[in-house]
Structure formats: structure tokens, C-alpha cells
Amino acid sequence: MISDPRAAMADGDDEAARNDAFTRHAAAMRGPLLAYFRRRVHDATECEDLVQEVFLRLTIRGTPDHLDGANGYIFQTAASVLADRHRRRLVRHADDHVVMDTDMHGGSDFDPHRIAAGRQALFAAAAALLTMPERTRTIFLLKRLDGLRYQDIAVQIGISVSAVEKHVVRAMQHLMIHAGEER
């Protein structure tokens, strides 16, 4: 059976009018939605994004059949957006993140002169390490680079803890002497 084209057009006009009315109603709800999110979200900069997410979801889902419950539908969508935000933040541990304080941690200074000086100091330290007796160098590297305890080094090398301490002191003195010569 062929339906009446005028009836189909009238149904299309009714749906377009309903969509238009819902769009105007949703736009009027922007202020209350912002207030809703501001009460629930500590970061005020996110509120506008959350409102946009509500409008995006409303656009994707389409309009409800009846505009009588439009406010409830809109705020139900807002609650869903808020719940999704909360889940994302939990998974990403967003509340555990700390903003980097450049005063406390220093800025990123990529000054070429500073980088060159750092490389030069590193090469000087490596050269000084190579001029140490092998056993002293080994003990120093086990302590400073590997982070082993004096007792563990003593067991590994087969000497007393006191001897390990003396080797580390000698290595530090050797490095300080070579650092003084470089300046």
C-alpha cells in the first residue's frame, strides 16, 4: 500500500519542528547546565567542555519523542557526562597528578653553553675515573652507580668493610683533585 506523500511530508515537518523546538530549549538550558557542572566540578575550566559534551550527545541521540520531559532528558545526559568524566579521571589517576612548579624544580634551561660545560665535566670525571687504580674505581662505581651497601661490596670483592670505605674516600679525593685541575 502506498502512503500519502502529503502525510509523510507533514510527519517530516512535525519532526523538524520538534527538533527545532528541542534545539531552542536545549540552548536555553546552557546556563543551568553550566551551573550544574560548576557545583560538581572543582575545575571551572572544564565546565564549558562538559556542556558541549552534553550538546554533542543530544545531537547524536536525537530528540526525545515528547518535549514534556526535555529538562529531565537534558540533565540525565549531563549526569551521564559527569559520570563518564569521573570514570576517566579514576582510570587516568588525574587527581594524583601534581603540576610542575618550575621555581621548585628549576626550568628547562637548554643553554648551549650550559650543555657544553656539562659534557666537559662529564668527560673530565670519566677521565679521572680511568686514572684511578682498578680496584678503587670498581668499588667506587659499585657504591655510587650500582648503589650497593659497603657490606655488600665487601662481600663481593672479598675485603673488609673498612677497606671498602677507604677506597671510596680515596676515589672521592681523586675526583676532587682532578675537578680542581680542570678549573
Q: What is the CATH number of the domain that holds 178?
A: 1.10.10.10
pLDDT of residue 2: 47
106-124 pLDDT, tens digit each: 666 678 888 898 899 889 8
Residue 107 covered by a domain: no
Residue 102 covered by a domain: no
Residue 176 covered by a domain: yes
CA–CA separation, 78 vs 34, rounded Å?
A: 10
Residue 103 covered by a domain: no
pLDDT of residue 69: 78
Q: What is the mean pLDDT of residues 138-158?
A: 94
Q: What is the mean pLDDT of residues 39-50?
A: 91
Domain shared by 28 and 87, yes or no: yes
Domain shared by 16 and 54, yes or no: yes
Number of domains in the chain: 2
CA–CA separation, 49 vs 54, rounded Å?
A: 9
pTM of full prediction above 0.75? no
CA–CA separation, 84 vs 113, rounded Å?
A: 49
Domain shared by 23 and 71, yes or no: yes
CA–CA separation, 147 vs 153, rounded Å?
A: 10
Residue 72 covered by a domain: yes
Q: What percent of the chain has pLDDT over 70?
A: 86
Domain shared by 11 and 92, yes or no: yes
pLDDT of residue 9: 47
In which domain, by residue range, is 29 found? 5-96
**pLDDT of residue 135 exceeding 50:** yes
Residue 140 covered by a domain: yes
Q: What is residue 51's DSSP assignment?
A: H
Domain shared by 86 and 161, yes or no: no
Domain shared by 47 and 86, yes or no: yes
**pLDDT of residue 82 exceeding 80:** yes
Domain shared by 91 and 126, yes or no: no
Query: Residues with Cβ < 8 Å from 150, sequence gap 6 or more?
Result: 143, 161, 164, 165, 168
Domain shared by 92 and 130, yes or no: no
Domain shared by 19 and 66, yes or no: yes
Q: What is the mean pLDDT of residues 137-155?
A: 94
Q: What is the mean pLDDT of residues 129-150?
A: 94
Residue 155 covered by a domain: yes
